[in-house]
Amino acid sequence: MKPKGHCTLTIEGKSFELPIYEGTEGPDVIDITRLYRETGYFTFDPGYLSTASCHSTITFIDGDKGRLEYRGYPIEQLAEKSDYLETCYLLLEGELPNQSQKDEFIEGITHHTLIHEQMAKSYNGLQRDSHPMAVVVTMVAALSAFYHDSTDINDEAQRLLASRRLIAKMPTIAAAAYKYSIGQPFVYPDNGLDYASNFLHMCFSLPTEDYQVNETLSKALDRIFILHADHEQNASTSTVRLAGSSEANPFACISSGVTSLWGPAHGGANEACLNMLKEIGTVDRVPEFIKRARDKDDPFRLMGFGHRVYKNYDPRARIMQKTCHEVLETLDIKDEPILKVALELERIALQDDYFIERKLYPNVDYYSGITQNALGFPSSMFTVLFAIARTVGWIAQWKEMIEDPLQRIARPRQLYLGHNTRDFIPMEER
Ligand code: CMC
């Protein structure tokens, strides 16, 4: 990387030159890597509000304009014209595949959909009422105990194998977590089905009955996967990069991403959002909840609203809203009360000064819960679906980091506000 120029930082009368780098799009960055060595100062940026933690060529977001692109392709075009596995290839390889590359990639993924039988048995060691995300975190980490031949991160072939195994096995792990929670037998993957249809099959079919995957619903799920596939340096992706920077096992790194995703401020918002809409219940109660969201003394927030990066309508939310209507129409669910609540809440919030001033718009999680609920998933599975989709993003970002010559172990510094040195106090004197 060549700097496009320099800026000057003056500390206590001394000036320091800092290089400025220009991205293809988005804000330029000031390079502070030598700041501590040259000035003795750290920068202070809790929550990384102004910090680019890496350089990347995978995903671009323009939060003010509401743009999201994977490798330069707008999310709207991918959601309409691509499919999830093709999008995975794009994220991992940087370009759209030609037909034979696509066929080879799909074959490579499909070949790995089974999980080790011993691993399937290890679900029994977990309580049946565990949250499915707890089960998925555990089982993704458990992959590192089963697939020893794909854990050498310095071997490109092993990295590829680990990537394909993760993408292929996530739906199997997730569906088994669901089946385990409801006491039904695990369903083996059917490699004759596409990625989303196979997941629906593993979740909803039974050995006792015939199950036909509805094509429209499977397409809707595939689109949900595309929308969630990557989102540049969010909390879970940064977690994966941070864990991977110590050259840790890839499966363990991805498991750390699943853990971070679980939180209600991140991927857990879809579950929290549906619970909120159910709690509101009827359209006439919407103003009461808007009032609560505005109240500084009330910790309540509108779930599915607001975003660190989008200060405009989240482009994924628009596509999700359309998908939601399509799913409800296909299933002939008319007058869904929760959808009415959601539409009214959105209408009022978008006209409300509090939300306008803070640029709070619906995010992807706002309509995804209603859609996934209609597809037949309980709310505890929503974040699991997000994790399946995001696995490819985590892997693409992890791979980019491992292959980056600038990569070093991530080691943030701190502003220490604790005690100065003091002598140990013996128990009898405390
Ligand atoms: N409801 C009410 N007020 C809100 C909300 C909300 N959902 N989100 C932000 N605010 C207010 C916040 O109180 C603050 O007000 P003030 O300036 O008066 O103190 C202001 O808006 C800025 O909020 P912030 O917490 O500083 O913003 P952030 O960038 O740190 O947080 C967020 C982003 C997504 C965590 C937050 O908007 C939030 O908690 N939203 C609800 C949870 C949610 O939907 N999360 C899913 C994110 S999208 C999926 C994903 O990519 O993971």
Residues of the chain with pLDDT under 50: none
- For 35-83, the pLDDT digits (tens) are 999 999 999 999 999 999 999 999 999 999 999 999 999 999 999 999 9
β 14-21/73-74 pair status: unpaired
- How many angstroms separate the CA atoms of 152 and 248, rounded? 9
What is the C-alpha to C-alpha distance for residues 8 and 276, in angstroms, rounded to an integer?
Answer: 49
289 lines ligand 1 (CB under 6 A): no
* The token pair that represents 47 in the structure block: 């929550």
Round to whole Å and give the CA distance between 111 and 178.
22
Q: Whose CA is nearest to atom 12 of ligand 1?
A: 358
Give me the amino acid identity at 283. Answer: V
What does the pLDDT read at residue 50? Answer: 96
Residue 336: per-residue pLDDT: 80
How much is the pLDDT for 87? Answer: 98
Q: Which residue has a Cα nearest atom 27 of ligand 1?
A: 308
pLDDT in tens, 7-23: 999 999 999 999 999 99
CA-nearest residue for atom 34, ligand 1, is 307
User: Cα–Cα–Cα angle for 93, 241, 392, nearest 5°?
Assistant: 40
Length of the chain, please? 430
Token match 């959909």: residue? 113
State which of 305, 320, 372 you would mutate to test the pocket of ligand 1, scoring each by most atoms of that ligand within 8 A of its C-beta: 305
User: Which residue among 224, 238, 271, 308 is best mutated to probe the pocket of ligand 1, counting the most ligand atoms within 8 A of its Cβ?
Assistant: 308
For ligand 1, is residue 274 a contact (CB within 6 Å)?
no
295 catalytic residue (yes or no): no
Q: Work out the percent of the chain whose per-residue pLDDT is above 70.
A: 100
**pLDDT (0 to 100) of residue 421:** 98
What crossing angle do the helices spanning 156-182 and 99-110 adopt, rounded to 10°? 60
Kindly give the distance from the C-alpha atom of residue 306 to the centroid of ligand 1, in angstroms, as a whole number: 5
Helix (H, G, I), strand (E, B) or coil at 182: helix
Please choose from 309, 363, 385 the residue to mutate so as to test ligand 1's pocket, defined by most ligand atoms within 8 A of CB: 363
Distances (CA, A) of 9 to 18, 34, 127, 174: 7, 12, 56, 50
Check pocket membership of 267 for ligand 1, CB cut-off 6 A: yes
Q: How far apart are CA 69 and CA 79, in angstroms?
A: 11
Of all protein residues, the one whose alpha carbon is nearest to atom 8 of ligand 1 is: 306
365 labelled catalytic: yes
Q: State the pLDDT at residue 151.
A: 87
Per-residue pLDDT, 335: 79
Q: Is the CB of 360 under 6 A from ligand 1?
A: yes
pLDDT at 242: 97
**What pLDDT shows up at residue 127?**
95
Give the per-residue pLDDT at 169: 98
- For residue 260 and ligand 1, the question of a CB distance below 6 A is answered with no
Does residue 265 have its Cβ closer than 6 Å to ligand 1? Answer: yes
**Ligand 1 pocket residue status of 293, Cβ below 6 Å:** yes
